[in-house]
Amino acid sequence: MERKILWGIGISSVLIFIVSFFWTGAEPIKKTDFPWHLEHPTPDTLRIFSLTLGQSTTEDADKVFGEVAEPTLFKSPSGNLVMEMFYEEVRPAGLKARVIMVVNVSESEIRGIYERGARMSSTGSGKKITIAPQDVPHVRQLPISSLTYMPSIKIEEDIFLKRFGQPTQRIKEKKTGAIHWLYPQHGVDIALGGAEKPVIQYISPKEFGILSTPLLANGDVIVAK
């Protein structure tokens, strides 16, 4: 059964959050294990969970998370191909979460991988292709372009405000009602959906338009009062 936590406001709530969910009594927790620990090796790059987006590979991520990611190729209804690596369960800082990484594959390479796909199935948003075994080692050595972190618990807004600060912009999706907190200077998009668990997307700041452009086209900017 999923734990239910009553959140207070202030320092005490943060301490309860850390003790309840992050401390496991195992290896010491490193600051790089937390989803709010952001590093910028250069102004245009982002390092999260000890992974530099645009440089680190899936093999690097496997070492960080202690799991082996599963590769899957997705084809959208419009024909766009996206290579993803998926972790069903990881526990950075002791908090159970799912992680999805998008791999940077060239257009010619991804077309070849698609044509060699072992099998295909339909999803609610397109096609899911299982890639051929011979393509997996190469894909695992390609750089990760973005990372999505999905914690298994609901986290209150106060925690995000304390750790990430005020967002530069808030956008409400017209279709789902989810509210996105955007931090373009950091390459971070935090999606909050009321009772839903948060979803945090990380991308290099120079590529932030990949996240923000569709949100602006399909959402409403929330004006601060």
Query: Which pLDDT value is given to residue 194?
Result: 67
DSSP count for the chain of H helices, then E strands: 6, 13
Query: Which pLDDT value is given to residue 21?
Result: 46
Domain identity same for 205 and 183: yes
Domain identity same for 121 and 141: yes
The two tokens of residue 43 are: 């102004």
Domain identity same for 80 and 149: yes
Q: Which helix (H) or strand (E) holds 75?
A: strand 70-75
Query: Which pLDDT value is given to residue 124?
Result: 77
Query: Which pLDDT value is given to residue 19?
Result: 42
Q: What is the tens place of the pLDDT at every residue in 199-214?
A: 999 999 999 999 999 9
Locate tokens 């209150």: which residue?
156
Domain identity same for 62 and 158: no
Domain identity same for 65 and 118: yes
- At what angle are helices 11-21 and 157-164 packed, to 10 degrees? 100
- Average pLDDT, stretch 56-70? 96
Q: What is the tens place of the pLDDT at every residue in 70-114?
A: 999 999 988 999 999 999 999 998 889 999 999 999 999 999 999
On whether residue 92 sits in a domain, the answer given is: yes
166 and 186 Cβ atoms separated by less than 8 Å = no
On whether residue 7 sits in a domain, the answer given is: no
The two tokens of residue 90 are: 């990881």
Domain identity same for 76 and 165: no
Q: Last residue of some domain: 124, 153, 182?
A: 153
Domain identity same for 147 and 107: yes
Query: Which pLDDT value is given to residue 122?
Result: 85
Q: What is the tens place of the pLDDT at every residue in 119-177?
A: 888 887 789 999 999 999 999 999 999 999 999 988 888 999 999 999 999 999 999 99
Q: Last residue of some domain: 153, 171, 204?
A: 153
Domain identity same for 167 and 225: yes
**Torsion region of 49: left, alpha or beta (phi above 0 gives left; psi -120 to 50 gives alpha):** left
Domain identity same for 112 and 53: yes
Query: Which pLDDT value is given to residue 107?
Result: 93
38 φ, ψ to 5°? -105, 135
Query: Which pLDDT value is given to residue 140?
Result: 95
**Closest CA relative to residue 119, chosen from 101, 109, 137, 131:** 131
Domain that holds residue 203: 154-225
The total of structural domains in the chain comes to: 2
Domain identity same for 67 and 142: yes
Q: Last residue of some domain: 153, 186, 205?
A: 153
